[in-house]
């Protein structure tokens, strides 16, 4: 029997892959072979077995996963037999990488450079590249402060709770909050501060901790969550509207609300139901009959938190402190498994996997990197570093 065909026998294939995958994800070492096979069976090629998988050249793979069209083609809700399934592009990519690793066409080093493996989802995701030379140069070429990288303790984990996440980021977060406090002491209030960043990076939690710090100093604070300005998800998905542009939100209400609250006015904003993915307001921005808006009182320090608060040109000038709070994709995915699937029970798991795979590449390109090029402070919890512009560094040093 040809050696390659022998490797592609189902039992031999799974045993070989099991050993190789331990070098891809250390959490595989916590599994028994039969448990690994349980997960792998979901990816077994139904027609022709592993021999039927066409192994692409590494350069072809890299070109494919660098193409916007590939990610745009991912279907979030493909249906088979009445159930949402994993998109065939994601399925084929994972099958191809598995086969290439077993046959030796793809090296572990190459796969780890381009992809991360989500153990709980048992599929490969493309690593988002956040730090370009342009972004590094925006901050003078190096971090303002570097700390020990403690998120490495999560390498074997399948999911992460906030308590452990917070502890790993403690030094970085404390230094960041000290910087914000010094900035506000220098510039005075009222002040509008925006914290942008990917889902599950820890934006909401760090805002809550900042609020507690300032409240303890008798300053009045409030938070405006950009997600509350989202229109109904069904409407966005039906019309192909991405979540990074003004079409996805009640834009006029957001802009006017920021203007009014910085003038000391009480405002009413939409309320977004994260369980049903619906807004309290209709597409025209009018309150629905059963809608309940959120009332926001003026404050000394106003936080605006969301994916793209200063990406929109008309909003950026209204914001005094612009922050990107960043955590790498594999860590965020582990946080989302715990938060959105285990606790919130928010998504169908296949919808969840499809959506994360599709959106992270596109959001990094269109939303997060452009804001990293504009922000005053960048908090990189995975890299355990604070990046700061010269102007920001001068302010907190006054």
What's the pLDDT at 274? 87
10 Å CB burial of residue 90 (0-12, 13-18, 19+) is buried
Query: For 134-150, what is the mean pLDDT?
Result: 98
Average pLDDT over residues 285-304: 95
pLDDT at 376 over 90: yes
pLDDT band at 28 (very low <50, low <70, confident <90, very high): very high
Q: What is the structure's pLDDT at 37?
A: 97
pLDDT digits (tens, 9 = 90+) for 110-138: 999 999 999 999 999 999 999 999 999 99
Q: What is the CA radius of gyration of the chain?
A: 23
Using the predicted structure, report yes or no on whether residue 1 has a pLDDT greater than 50: no
385 with 146: CB under 8 angstroms?
A: yes
Give the residue-averaged pLDDT of 60-83: 96
Q: pLDDT, tens digit, for every residue of 321-357? A: 999 999 999 999 999 999 999 999 989 999 999 999 9
The helix-helix angle for 88-103 and 10-24 (nearest 10°) equals 90
Q: Which residue has the higher pLDDT, 1 or 101?
A: 101
Contacts of 262 (CB under 8 A, 6+ apart): 190, 192, 302, 318
pLDDT band with cut points at 50, 70 and 90 for residue 8: confident
On the question of pLDDT at 24 being above 80, the answer is yes
- Give yes or no for a contact between 197 and 307, defined as CB atoms under 8 angstroms apart: yes
* Angstrom distance (rounded) from CA 371 to CA 149: 24
Domain 133-397, CATH homologous superfamily name and number: P-loop containing nucleotide triphosphate hydrolases (3.40.50.300)
Domain ranges of the chain: 3-126, 133-397
pLDDT at 287 over 70: yes
Sign of the alpha-carbon dihedral angle for 177, 178, 180, 181: positive
Where does the pLDDT of residue 5 fall: very low under 50, low under 70, confident under 90, or very high at 90 and above?
Answer: low
Judge whether residue 58 has pLDDT over 90: yes
The mean per-residue pLDDT over the stretch 312-326 comes to: 92
**CB neighbours of 62 closer than 8 A, spacing ≥ 6?**
114
Q: Please report, rounded to a whole number, the percentage of residues in the chain having pLDDT higher than 70.
A: 98
As a whole number, the mean pLDDT across the chain is: 94
């Amino acid at each position: 029997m040809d050696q390659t065909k022998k490797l592609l026998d189902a039992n031999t294939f799974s045993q070989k892959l099991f050993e190789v995958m331990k070098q891809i994800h250390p959490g595989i070492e916590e599994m028994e072979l039969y448990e690994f096979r349980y997960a792998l069976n979901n990816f077994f090629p139904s027609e022709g077995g592993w021999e039927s998988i066409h192994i692409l050249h590494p350069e072809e793979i890299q070109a494919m996963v660098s193409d916007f069209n590939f990610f745009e083609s991912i279907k979030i809700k493909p249906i088979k037999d009445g159930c949402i399934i994993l998109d065939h592009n994601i399925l084929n990519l994972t099958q191809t990488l598995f086969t290439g690793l077993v046959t030796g066409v793809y090296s572990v080093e190459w796969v780890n450079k381009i992809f991360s493996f989500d153990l709980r989802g048992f599929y490969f995701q493309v690593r988002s590249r956040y730090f370009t030379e342009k972004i590094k140069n925006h901050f003078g070429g190096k971090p303002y402060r570097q700390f020990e990288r403690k998120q490495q303790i999560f390498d074997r984990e399948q999911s992460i709770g906030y308590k452990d996440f917070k502890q790993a980021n403690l030094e970085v977060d404390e230094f960041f909050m000290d910087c914000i406090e010094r900035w506000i002491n220098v510039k005075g209030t009222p002040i509008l501060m925006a914290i942008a960043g990917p889902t599950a990076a820890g934006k909401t939690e760090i805002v809550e901790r900042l609020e507690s710090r300032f409240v303890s100093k008798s300053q009045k604070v409030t938070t405006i969550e950009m997600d509350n300005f989202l229109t109904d998800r069904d409407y966005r998905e039906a019309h192909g509207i991405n979540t990074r542009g003004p079409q996805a939100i009640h834009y006029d209400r957001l802009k006017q609300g920021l203007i009014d609250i910085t003038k000391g006015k009480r405002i009413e904003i939409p309320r977004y139901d994260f369980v049903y993915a619906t807004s309290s307001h209709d597409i025209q921005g009018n309150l629905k009959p059963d809608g309940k808006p959120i009332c926001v009182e003026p404050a000394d320090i106003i936080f605006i938190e969301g994916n793209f608060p200063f990406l929109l040109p008309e909003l950026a000038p209204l914001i005094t402190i612009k922050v990107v709070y960043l955590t790498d994709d594999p860590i965020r995915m582990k946080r989302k498994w715990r938060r959105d699937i285990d606790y919130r029970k928010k998504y169908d798991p296949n919808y969840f996997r499809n959506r994360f795979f599709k959106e992270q590449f596109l959001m990094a390109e269109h939303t997060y990197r452009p804001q990293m090029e504009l922000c005053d402070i960048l908090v990189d919890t995975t890299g355990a570093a604070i990046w700061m512009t010269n102007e920001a560094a001068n302010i907190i040093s006054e």
